[in-house]
Each structure stands twice: as C-alpha cells, then as structure tokens.
C-alpha cells in the first residue's frame, strides 16, 4: 500500500509540475516531461534521483514489513 501511495504521489507530483511548466513555458506535455527527465550533465541531479530511488526502495521494504506484521498478528 505504501508503495502504491508512493507511486501515486510521485506520478501525481510529476504531472502537477509538468502542468505548471506547460503553463509557464507554453510547451507541450511531452516536451516538458522530456525536459524534466533529462539529467543535465555536470549538475548534481543524480543526487535527487538517487534519493527518490532510495525512497522507493524504502516504501517497498516498509510494505513488506507491514504485511509480515499483519501475517503474524493473524497467526
């Protein structure tokens, strides 16, 4: 469930940000998405990419542990 929420939030935030960028830059949706995902060489954008990935892994781990706990309780 946490993973699901994570994905919903991640995609939702992306859509929101790209909508606003579309409004500001007057570009099409795909151009904006492309711009958001291109990692500029030399900047440190990989850092936040990594952070988000850590977040994703964390949410999977949390989900797994939640399920395990639930199973134990039921047993």
Partner 1 sequence: MKKRIFILICISSFLLTGCWDSTELNDVSIVTGIAIDPGKEKRYRLTVGYVNASILSPQIPFEGAPVSVMTLEGNSLPEISARMNIGVSRKLVFSHTRALYINEEVAKNDGVGSFLDSLERNPQFRNDFNILITKGDSAEKFPTINDPVERVPSLKVQKQIKSILKNWGGDPRVRLTDFIDAIVSQGRSPIASSVTIEGNPEKGKNVESNMETKAPARILLAGIAVFEKDKLAGYLSLEDTRNYLWTQKLESTMVTIPCGKHGEELKEKLYFDLAIMNNKSTIKTFYKGDQPHLKVDIYSEARLTSMQCNEDLSKKETYLDLEQKSSKYVKDMIVATIKKVQDEFGLDIFGFGEALHRQNYQKAKEVEEKWDEEFARADVDVNVHVAIRRSGIRNKSFLSEVPANKED
Partner 2 sequence: MKQQKLMEKLSLWQLAVLLFTFEIGSVAVVGVGNDLRQDAWIAVAISTLLGAGIVSFYIMLLKRAPGKNLFELMTISFGKWLGKGIGLLYVFYFFYIAERVLRDFCELITTVIFENTPIEIISITMMGVIAYMIYLGLEVFGRTGEIFIPYVFTFTILIGFATFFSGEMDFKNLLPVMAEGSGPIIQHIFPRLLTFPFGELITFMVIIPYVTQFNKAGKVSVITVLVSGMIIIYGTVIEIVTLGTEQLERTVFPLLSAARYISLLEFIERVDLVVVFIVMFGIITKVSVFFFAGLKGLEHITNISYRYMVLPMATIISYGTILISDNFAEHIEEGIRFIPHYMHVPFQFILPALFAPLLFWRTKKQKRGSDTNGSK
Give the chain's radius of gyration (CA, Å).
Answer: 17
Which residues, other chains included, contact 2 with Cβ-Cβ below 8 Å and sequence gap of 6+?
59, 62, 63, 66
38 is an interface residue for partner 2 by CB under 8 A = no
- Three-point CA angle 1, 50, 12, nearest 5°: 45
Residues 42-71 that bind partner 2 (CB under 8 A): 43-45, 47-49, 51-52, 54-56, 58-59, 62, 66, 69
Binding site for partner 2 (CB under 8 A): 1-2, 5-6, 8-10, 12-14, 16-17, 20, 23-24, 35-36, 43-45, 47-49, 51-52, 54-56, 58-59, 62, 66, 69
């Amino acid at each position: 469930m946490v993973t699901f929420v994570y994905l919903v939030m991640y995609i939702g935030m992306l859509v929101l940000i790209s909508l606003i960028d579309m409004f500001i830059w007057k570009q099409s949706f795909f151009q904006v998405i492309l711009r958001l995902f291109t990692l500029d060489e030399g900047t440190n954008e990989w850092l936040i990419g990594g952070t988000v990935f850590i977040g994703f892994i964390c949410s999977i781990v949390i989900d797994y542990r939640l399920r395990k706990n639930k199973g134990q309780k039921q047993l």
